[in-house]
A = this chain, B = another copy of it.
Amino acid sequence: MAVTQAPRVSQRGRDAPPSPVRKLMPLAAAAKARGTTVYHINIGQPDLATPEPILASIRSYSESVLPYAPSRGMPETLSAWSSYYAAVGYDIPTDELIVTTGGSEALAFAFMAVADPGDEILLFEPTYANYFGFAVGSAIETVAITLDPEDGFHLPASARIQDAITARTRAICISNPNNPTGTVYDRQELEELLEVAVRNDLFVISDETYRELVFDGLEHTSMLEFDSSEARDRVIIVDSVSKRFSATGARVGCLVSRNPAIMDAVGRFAQARLSAPTVEQLAVVPMLKDPLPYTSWLRSEYEGRRNAVYEHLLHADLACRKPSGAFYIMVTLPVEDCDDFAMWLLTDFDSNGETVMVAPGAGFYLTRSMGRQQARLAYVLNKQDLARAVDILGEALRQYPGGRA
């Protein structure tokens, strides 16, 4: 008798990476079930209230039919994104924009539009972990240049970037301000990066989800500031309302490109998936049209949190470079394996019934064995809770019985 067997999941299905905090989730749930309070500084879900205009617009959806939006976006939403870019200083007409289901979909589209199976996208590690997921899903190879914590995770010299480029490299992908490091790239390093891209006929995918979150009086330099024809041909911006308007669950993002061939390809990818959610596309219009009052407040709120976290990290003897943007900080901990430490925090430790959940660093690296001493902290809680979370971390490190680095 013939024995049939289950057909095999695809190679990419087997290779797609799990989220760096996935295996910690059941442990956090178990800790809570034991009555332990868990401070979540592991994910980019802010505690901040979503701005009232977004919620009010959702609550006042008054159509009787909830129809598909056009594939490239609702006309109102396209025009509102265009207003948003004007408010932050860039002239982006609606035909250089496509509304996406979160920044996530913009990333997936950008990757697919620039690279075929076996092609390479160059990243800098530590990196936003989901870049790996999208690359594996699209059967694209990722090559990562490792950044230096001592240097504040800034971009390396051009020569080092040039060395990592092969005949299969199709694009360089950055996030600026950076998740997970909080680093803000300055104009000069971006200019150099663009020069390398031009010299090698590469696209530049710039994820600027945290554009407004730059501190210490710094100005953010968008890749949109480079206006040469070479820049216009190759820069692709990935964007999202998620963090900027404290509305991660809205799933509204966008992709910007001034290269008509890219817009045409992404437009056809967008047609295949029909549309992004209609209600939220309309809901974000008022904030996109008048972003600055909220984002100025948001910047100062996160800057205050950054200061509080940094101060308490110093106090806990956890030296690290002070990050200048986004709402993350990558710290090097005096442990051998932060994965193990993060689990122990949830399974075997508490400080007066409280503990913290952090994102172990290794998941932000492509290179095996890198980042094992690092953890990403997200300052998505109020200052008092953040201070307490960092103090708990310090106490935990003193008690941790595991391997020390």
Contact = CB atoms under 8 A, between A and B. Distances in A.
A37 to B, nearest CB: 19
B272 A251 contact: no
Contacts of A119: 10
Copies of this chain, complex-wide, total 2
Interface stretch (A52-60, A179-187, A369-377): A52-60
Interface of A: 4-14, 16-19, 22, 45-50, 54-55, 58-61, 64-69, 71, 101-102, 104-105, 108, 112-119, 130, 133-134, 137-139, 170-171, 198-199, 201-203, 230, 233-234, 246-251, 259, 261-262, 264-266, 268-269, 271-280
Nearest to A118: B117
Contacts of A114: 7, 9-10, 13
Contacts of A277: 101, 249-251, 277, 280
B66 A50 contact: yes
Contacts of A250: 66, 277-279
A6 B261 contact: yes
A7 B55 contact: no
Contacts of A59: 58-61
Among A113, A137, A171, find the residue whose CB has the most chain B CB atoms closer than 10 A.
A137
B230 A4 contact: yes
A96 to B, nearest CB: 15
A133 to B, nearest CB: 3
B60 A66 contact: no
Q: Which of A102, A104, A198, A279 has the most CB of B within 10 A?
A: A279
A115 B10 contact: yes
Contacts of A45: 67-68
